[in-house]
């Protein structure tokens, strides 16, 4: 059952989630779970490098590499969880702002690639203790993350109700 996405001001029809909203939620769930797997695996790899005392990772001269790879793992894991949280938040966001929601989702996905990617690439190659050029992906990624969080936080209204699937609020 679909309702009109833009009801007239005099009408007060209940809103039902749109297929586009469900697709957006599935996209973030898929991305969140797969990136969580990738970054948790990176963490296990880093722990293994540490446990086996691999010089490429542990030597004092490679401190920048160790820091950048650890930051890539930590930020990637956190952003994966934020994607899952965003997908869980979508059902309570007002349906009339789908473009903003979609834009926030795109910003979040881009940030989820740029931030850990910048740390990772900054750690793979580094020069005299400074991260590699990949670190320049970080500022645009951070800005996109701030935009996504701002748009999402702004869209959450007091008294919002869940609207789709088994998550619908019963009266």
- Residue 165, judged by CB atoms within 10 A of its CB (0-12, 13-18, 19+), counts as exposed
- Domain membership of residue 2 (yes or no) is no
Closest CA to 49 of 41, 58, 60: 58
Residue found by looking up tokens 């991305």 in the block:
31
Confidence category of residue 115, pLDDT binned at 50, 70, 90:
very high
With 0.85 as the threshold, say if the pTM is over it. no
Helix (H, G, I), strand (E, B) or coil at 27: helix
Is 171 inside any structural domain? Answer: no
User: Which is more confidently placed, 67 or 164?
Assistant: 67
Written as six digits, the tokens of 114 are 């740029």
Number of structural domains (the chain) is 1
What is d(CA 92, CA 57) in angstroms, rounded to the nearest whole number? Answer: 44
68-114 pLDDT, tens digit per residue, is 999 999 999 999 999 999 999 998 888 778 889 999 999 999 999 99
The C-alpha atoms of residue 20 and residue 102 are separated, in whole angstroms, by 9
What are the residues facing 131 on neighbouring strands? 126
Q: Is residue 10 assigned to a domain?
A: no
Q: Which domain holds residue 30?
A: 19-156
How confident is residue 171, by pLDDT bands cut at 50, 70 and 90? very low
């Amino acid at each position: 059952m679909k309702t009109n996405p833009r009801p007239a001001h005099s009408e007060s029809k209940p809103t039902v989630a749109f297929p586009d909203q469900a697709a957006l939620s599935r996209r973030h769930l898929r991305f969140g779970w797969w990136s969580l797997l990738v970054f948790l695996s990176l963490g296990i790899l880093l722990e293994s490098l540490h446990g086996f005392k691999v010089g490429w990772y542990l030597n004092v001269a490679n401190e920048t590499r160790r820091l950048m790879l650890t930051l890539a793992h930590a930020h990637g894991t956190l952003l994966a969880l934020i994607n899952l949280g965003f997908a869980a938040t979508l059902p309570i966001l007002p349906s009339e702002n789908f473009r903003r929601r979609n834009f926030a989702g795109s910003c979040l996905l881009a940030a989820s690639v740029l931030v850990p990617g910048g740390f990772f690439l900054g750690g793979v190659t580094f020069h005299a203790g400074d991260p590699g050029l990949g670190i320049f992906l970080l500022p645009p990624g951070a800005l996109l993350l701030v935009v996504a969080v701002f748009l999402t936080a702004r869209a959450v209204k007091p008294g919002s109700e869940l609207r789709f699937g088994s998550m619908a609020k019963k009266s």
